[in-house]
Chain A
Amino acid sequence: MSEALYFLGPALVMCLVIAAIHVYLGMHVLRREVIFVDLSLAQLAALGATVSTLFHVHHGSAVPYLFAFGFTAVGAVIFAFTRKSRKQVSQEAIIGIVYVVASAVTVLVLSRAPHGAEHMKDILVGTLLLTTWKQVGFVTVAYAVLGIANGLLARRFIEISWEPDEAEQKRRHVAWWDLLFYLLFGVVITISVQVAGILLVFSFLIVPAVTSRLFSVRIWPRLLIGWGIAILASILGLAASWLWDLPTGAAVVAAFGLLLAMAALARVWVPARG
């Protein structure tokens, strides 16, 4: 057991740090009904990092992150300014197109790079097992800063996520606030995708938000339930990975799925209050 903690310690703490901010942001994403926006932005981040490898970047530099964020910023601009055009074209369609095209272009870029197939797999499931304490430190500091930024702006962001029409009426320049939201969101995703991969980042964002929605509509209870789910899924996934020698990232994603299924069953048996 202590051996497991010794080896999986960094991975576990990384999961907790990622969970802290992603559970909150996931609630926004769910409310805005842009579920796939994080897949889109995550794929754009992955594409940016992949493109950066075409240039001579040496391991550990910040250049992949800068490229990744540059690409997600483009996505942020597209999503912020197409929100209102929902009457003509559903935003979901736009998000889906961005995701699919970004994925395909990633494949094209990787077709020119050695071992492209393995890189595709790493983009999907990440390299959680080999996380180092140094990486954990970097992500913790970055997310602390981003968390504070989100906290300060929470009121405004919640307003435009939950009641955008009222905010429009109050002349709140919703599109610009949307852009700011997506840019901050993009930075968060850029960082987590490098470590955890697209599938796991999506799971941290959406599954706790969905699960908590089954039990409450108020923000603080949902945050607490969501954090609980994320922590539990991380522990279960890492434990399964250890006991059965499974790839770590994929195991945590599977654990999320299992917990959601169990929560849904529980909801069926235990009727909602009021």
Chain B
Amino acid sequence: MVDKKSIILLSLVAIIAVIPLVLYSGMGEDEGYFGGADGAAGEAIEETGYKPWFSSIWEPPSGEIESLLFALQAAIGAIVIGYVFGYYHGQAKERKKIENEANKTAKNSK
């Protein structure tokens, strides 16, 4: 599943994700870092004097519950991806085995 090319690719992903943490190391939410581009756009709209006319039916009651649900979302996705690729991987292995055996019997019959 993981060859040399893939390792390079995934390392790149890790590096890009870590660079900001190094750049702003020591900074946190209190200094206004890593809080999310989210609030910014909302604030920009509220500055125009606009009042949201509808609010969420249900909101996670705390940051903990929110991360629970985010983790759940990621877990559901990861399980599906892992299952399908695991299945494909097994299929490919089995296919190879059958091919090898077929080659062997073909050779023997010669």
A joins B in a complex: no
By a beta-carbon cutoff of 8 Å, the part of chain A in contact with chain B is none
